[in-house]
Amino acid sequence: MNNKSYRFKVGVFECIVVSDGTFAYPHPAQIFFANAPQERLEQVLREHSLDPEQWEEYVSPYPSLVIDTGQHRVLVDTGAGGMAPTTGKLIPNLQAEGIAPEDIDTVILTHGHPDHIGGNLDSEGKPAFPNARYVMWKEGWEFWTSEPDLAQMKVDEQIRQLLLTFARNNLPPIQGQLDLVDQETEIVPGIRTIPAAGHTPGHMAVAISSGDEQLLLIADAALHPIHLEQPDWYSVFDLAPEQVLVSKRRLVERATAEKALVQAFHFPFPGLGHIIPKGEAWQWQPIETAG
């Protein structure tokens, strides 16, 4: 497997996880597990063969998902665009799979963070997917287009400014092609948006269903597999931590009840796997990828 794309099927739907690149998060233990008790955190990291003193960065993939239903070509999230030299590869990686930006008729944006909306526009500032309607959760759109106060986030001011700049630059120009949803909605036959707020206001998951197969895309409801083993741990990026924990539990219960395949944006590429109940919590079981 290369780390640029991964093809699979959900029923008769042809799906491709397509990479926009990667980004190295410094101090991952503090960033991803903001409320973890120190001693327990160190123990859990060691169980994952991570040295708490030496774990200096987490290199996260930034994968978008293309779903070709036969009638529609849907893209979920647009990557980080020019956020870093290691990002902004979505369009060439789509083209390598034979998909032109014009072929996409629906773009679903799970939430307004830079790594999910950064590729909304082309180099001229026009929508990068000219024939698509863009879909976003109403509350998320309203939040990110209203110069939100991010003071409660325990991150550097530089990161707060990055979030605000990306929202300011990448959201208003798509307004002419935008549909907002405020409840579970079938966007095209077989693809539904599901409310999963907490990580940000209006953060959403996407349920994909064809025949008797299901894929549940949980976006950023969990950022690392350890968030499944430790259901009470959350990250510094989670704007409403208590709500994240509720949304995560609801999504996981849905996935385990339906034995759905799951896609998690920040998990190791391609982020596909199953969630297995384990004790009081769960465990991530990535799919086997050849090569």
Contact 186, 192 (CB under 8 A): yes
Residue 229 in the binding site for Zn ion (CB under 5 A): no
What CA–CA distance (Å, rounded) separates 184 from 2?
34
> What string of DSSP letters covers the chain?
--SSEEEEEETTEEEEEEEEEEEEEESHHHHH-TT--HHHHHHHHHHTT--TTT--EEEEEEEEEEEE-SS-EEEE----GGGSTTB--HHHHHHHTT--GGG--EEE---SSHHHHTTSB-TTSSBSSTTPEEEEEHHHHHHHTS----TTS-S-HHHHHHHHHHHHHHSGGGGGGEEEE-S-EEEETTEEEEE-TTSSTT-EEEEEEETTEEEEEEETS-SSTHHHHSTT---TT-SSHHHHHHHHHHHHHHHHHTT-EEEETTSSTT-EEEEEEETTEEEEEEPP---
Q: Of 129, 93, 87, 82, which is closest to residue 108 (Cα–Cα)?
A: 129
CB of 50 to Zn ion, least distance (A): 20
Pick the piece of the chain touching Zn ion (CB under 5 A) from 8-16, 84-92, 128-136, 213-221.
213-221
Residue 115 in the binding site for Zn ion (CB under 5 A): yes
CB of 265 to Zn ion, least distance (A): 5
CB of 268 to Zn ion, least distance (A): 14
Strand partners, 8: 15
Pick the piece of the chain touching Zn ion (CB under 5 A) from 24-32, 138-146, 217-225, 281-289.
217-225
Pick the piece of the chain touching Zn ion (CB under 5 A) from 34-42, 112-120, 204-212, 243-251.
112-120
User: 139 vs 238, which CB is nearer to Zn ion?
Assistant: 238
User: 188 vs 240, which CB is nearer to Zn ion?
Assistant: 240
User: 60 vs 210, which CB is nearer to Zn ion?
Assistant: 60
User: 209 vs 272, which CB is nearer to Zn ion?
Assistant: 272
CB of 220 to Zn ion, least distance (A): 4
Residue 238 in the binding site for Zn ion (CB under 5 A): no
CB neighbours of residue 149 within 10 Å: 9
Pick the piece of the chain touching Zn ion (CB under 5 A) from 15-23, 139-147, 218-226, 275-283.
218-226
Pick the piece of the chain touching Zn ion (CB under 5 A) from 5-13, 111-119, 177-185, 275-283.
111-119
CB of 195 to Zn ion, least distance (A): 17
Residue 20 in the binding site for Zn ion (CB under 5 A): no
Pick the piece of the chain touching Zn ion (CB under 5 A) from 64-72, 120-128, 215-223, 272-280.
215-223
Residue 220 in the binding site for Zn ion (CB under 5 A): yes
Binding-site size for Zn ion (CB under 5 A) equals: 2
CB of 80 to Zn ion, least distance (A): 9
CB of 60 to Zn ion, least distance (A): 8
In the complex, which residues of this chain contact Zn ion (CB under 5 A)?
115, 220
